[in-house]
A = this chain, B = another copy of it.
Amino acid sequence: MKNLLDIYARKKKDIAAIEKELEESVYTDHAMLKETSLHLLKAGGKRIRPVFVLLSGEFGHYQLQTMKHVAVPLELIHMATLVHDDVIDDADTRRGQLTVRSKWDNRIAMYTGDYIFAKALGVITQIHKPAVHQIMSKAIVEMSIGEMEQIRFFFNAEQTIRDYLLRIRRKTALLIAISCQLGAMAADAPDWVSNKLYSFGYNVGMCFQIRDDILDLIGTEKQLGKPPGNDVKQGNITLPVLFAMQNPELKPLILSELDRIHKLDGQTDVSRFLDIIRNSEGIDRADALSQKYIDKAIAALDQLPDKQAKKDLIEVAYFIGNRSY
């Protein structure tokens, strides 16, 4: 995903401006908070949400200043949820870097998340549109429910594909969807346009998370910045696994592996589990579903005016649909 920026070199200057604003937005005199927040920012990330805000803003009256006040809080909210997720997951590394909770501790990670989240709210207050605030707060509520859901479904092999899809909807797709929607709304694009962009973002987000979950099963440590099989170690049962379990021959093998990993609290080698899933149809079927989401995403753009931003959005969507790291 590192090369995502190359795809839309056109927006490079504005993306750089947002990067700068992100750093300034978390600035504080408090030494430790400054350190933890910058650590998170410097760890990088794909900045997909800001990019979608910018591209969507081009369907209205694009002003970088306004776009910043939407892009920055959405990225900060994303970051805040990552730190809290790391607490829950006992994650030691993310993107190949030490997490806040492992470099400092869980308490500090929790408060760093709270702080970054609070800063996000501060920035969005600069947008004086009640509808923007309402959409954002509703999405945040859904996201926090999704986080709780994730705990409930850890190592739960009874869950359905619908449970999984609902979970990634809340966990990932909603925030990407509103990044597109709010980018357009902040730029005063017509409602039908921001709604179409919401739908685009939602479908891209679903694809994005499915691919993320596939990569955790088939990627190498080098590609992922962490060893594969992280999800199952935490008890996170993902789409390829659910598809693989539909094969009656594989199901007992998978269940027994899940049971073993669960009993050892994830502190075990999971290569046998990975082999079973990799050799099943689960990966291909999950991949096919992720492609369907990309098709839907692109179809959502159909009636939008033929601008460069539309071409860019399509390109990013294809990129996400094909990403292998």
A43 within 8 A of B: no
Which residues on B sit within 8 Å (CB–CB) of A110? 84, 87-88, 110
Asked if A122 is at the interface of the complex by the 8 Å CB criterion, the answer is yes
A21 within 8 A of B: no
Contacts A87-B107, A87-B110, A110-B110; A134 near B115 (Cβ below 8 A): no
With A118-B141, A138-B122 as contacts: A151 and B30 at CB distance below 8 Å: no
What sequence of 0s and 1s flags, for each residue 117-143 of chain A, a beta carbon within 8 Å of any chain B beta carbon? 111011001001010011011101101
Residues of B within 8 A of A125 (CB): 130, 133-134, 137
Interface status of A231 (Cβ within 8 A of chain B) = no
Contact A30 B149 (CB under 8 A): yes
Q: Name the residue in A32, A88, A121, A122 with the highest tally of chain B Cβ atoms < 10 Å from its Cβ.
A: A121
CB-CB under 8 A from A152, the residues of chain B are 32
Q: How far is the CA of A129 from the CA of B140 in the complex (A)?
A: 21
Q: How many residues of A contact B (CB 8 A)?
A: 38
* CB of A144 closer than 8 Å to a CB of B: yes
Query: Are A33 and B145 closer than 8 Å at their CB atoms?
Result: yes
Interchain CB contact under 8 A, B108 and A151: yes
State the copy count for this chain. Answer: 2
Contact partners of A140 in chain B: CB under 8 A = 118, 121-122
Interface assignment of A288: CB less than 8 Å from any CB of chain B: no
CA distance A122 to B142 in the complex (A): 11
What's the nearest-Cβ distance from chain B to residue A136, in Å?
8
- Judge if A28 is at the interface, Cβ distance under 8 Å: yes
Report B-chain residues with C-beta under 8 Å of the C-beta of A281: none
- Within the complex, the shortest CB–CB distance from A267 to chain B, in Å, comes to 18
User: In angstroms, how far is the closest chain B Cβ from the Cβ of A23?
Assistant: 16
- Shortest CB–CB separation between residue A122 and chain B, in angstroms? 4
Contact of A121 with B118 at beta-carbon distance under 8 Å, contacts A87-B110, A145-B28, A151-B111 already known:
no
Q: What is the interface of chain A, defined by CB distance below 8 A to chain B?
A: 28, 30, 32-33, 84, 87-88, 106-108, 110-112, 114-115, 117-119, 121-122, 125, 128, 130, 133-134, 136-138, 140-141, 143-145, 147-149, 151-152
Q: List 6 A-B contacts (CB under 8 A).
A: A114-B144, A115-B144, A115-B145, A119-B141, A125-B133, A128-B130
The 10 closest A-B pairs by CB, nearest first: A121-B137, A115-B144, A122-B137, A118-B140, A125-B133, A118-B141, A114-B144, A125-B134, A111-B148, A128-B130
